[in-house]
Amino acid sequence: MYYEFLENVAQNNHLRDIHSVIKLVFGLGCILIAISSQSIIVPLLIIAITMFATLVLAKINLKFYLMLLTVPLGFAVISVLVIIFLRNSGTTLLSIPVFDWFNIVVSTGSLNEGLLIFSRVFAGMCSLFFVALTTPVTELFTTAAKCKIPHEFIDLAMLIYRFIFTLIEQAVQIHASQVMRLGYGSAKEGINSYGMMAGSLFINTWIAGENLMMAMDCRCYDGKFALNADDLRFSPALMAGVIALLAVLIVIAVYTRGFILFGA
């Protein structure tokens, strides 16, 4: 079994050395502008910009990126189809009779609304993936500490982060050893094996917790966790550029707010 974690991709992307605050401002700014946009123009622009940033600047593998996008977009397409067929306003474009008393109707209004929502979701996802694929969680801890989030939360998050991977590794190993001994041959066996895996993971977690206490004691734990040395350079010019870009997007959004594709 092989898992590709977003986190592992993020650790190796080409925008890693950009200060995480800049990437966060850019990503979150794009999301906010996209979901509050009144026309599809700005979301389309944001899709283009974030895709460019993710694929060309951060050099994320195209196939991997498309695969990631299919999951949320699949849901989005289904929900948008429902909106297009069920909402009804403006001139009717298409009417499919189902029963005597029920027609499925597509109208200009519903089409415009569906497309707008789809473009917002798409742009939002692209922006979110930009942040997820370029900003490793390990960098966010430092940022979180700067934002004065209580260090208890950050310490806990860091421990969880470290042990998620240990847990997954163990689960993969146990699963593999079960498969090798034909543990998932039938549905009944599968359920049994799965339960066994959960059980032994629980015990392993317990032991790991005790070992952790011991390791921390051995290393003079005194309630403090180190953060990364803050050696990423914060570039004010780049930050200004990002803010300017966001400002331009807002201006375009305001000017194109009345734009619709179908009908007047």
Partner 1 sequence: MEPIIELHNVSYKYPNGPKALDNVSFTISRGEKIALVGPNGAGKSTLLLMFNGMLKPDSGEILFNGKKITYDREALREIRRRVGFVFQNPDTQTIAPTVYQDVAFGPVNLGMPRDEVRTVVFDALNDTGLAGFERRPIHQLSGGEKKRAAMAGILAMNPDVLVFDEPTSALDPAGSEDIMELLDEMQVNGKTIIISTHDVELAYPWADRVLLIKGGTVLLAGKPGDVFYNKDLVRSCKLSMPVLLELYEGLSEKGMPQIDKLPKSALDFITYLCENCGLQRKEEKTCGDIYLADVEHTSPAIVQNLLASGSIAAVGAMGTKAKTFAGNGNICPEFTYGVIDKCVLKAINKKNTLILTSGGMFARVHTRVEAFNQEYDQHIRVIENF
Binding site for partner 1 (CB under 8 A): 7-8, 11, 16, 136-139, 141, 158-159, 161-162, 165-166, 169, 208, 211-212, 214-229
**Least distance from partner 1 to the Cβ atom of residue 56, Å:** 23
The tokens of 53 are what?
């940033």
Q: Residue 51: name the closest of 36, 33, 34, 69 by CA.
A: 69
Nearer Cβ to partner 1 (171/260): 171
Nearer Cβ to partner 1 (98/226): 226
**Least distance from partner 1 to the Cβ atom of residue 18, Å:** 13
Torsion of CA 131, 11, 159, 214, to 10 degrees: -170
Exposure pattern of 43-66 as b/e (b: 16+ CB <10 Å)?
A: bebbbebbbebbbeebebeeeebe
**Least distance from partner 1 to the Cβ atom of residue 20, Å:** 12
Nearer Cβ to partner 1 (8/61): 8
Nearer Cβ to partner 1 (52/234): 234
**Least distance from partner 1 to the Cβ atom of residue 229, Å:** 5
**Least distance from partner 1 to the Cβ atom of residue 85, Å:** 46
Q: Residue 245: name the closest of 39, 14, 27 by CA.
A: 27
Nearer Cβ to partner 1 (36/228): 228
- Ranges of beta strands (E only) in the chain are 92-99, 102-107
Nearer Cβ to partner 1 (56/215): 215
CA distances from 139 to 4, 142, 176 (A): 19, 6, 32
**Least distance from partner 1 to the Cβ atom of residue 198, Å:** 21
Please state, in angstroms and rounded to a whole number, the distance separating the CA atoms of residues 61 and 71: 17
CA atoms within 13 A on the CB side of 25: 18
Q: What is the DSSP string of 223-241?
A: S--------SPP-HHHHHH
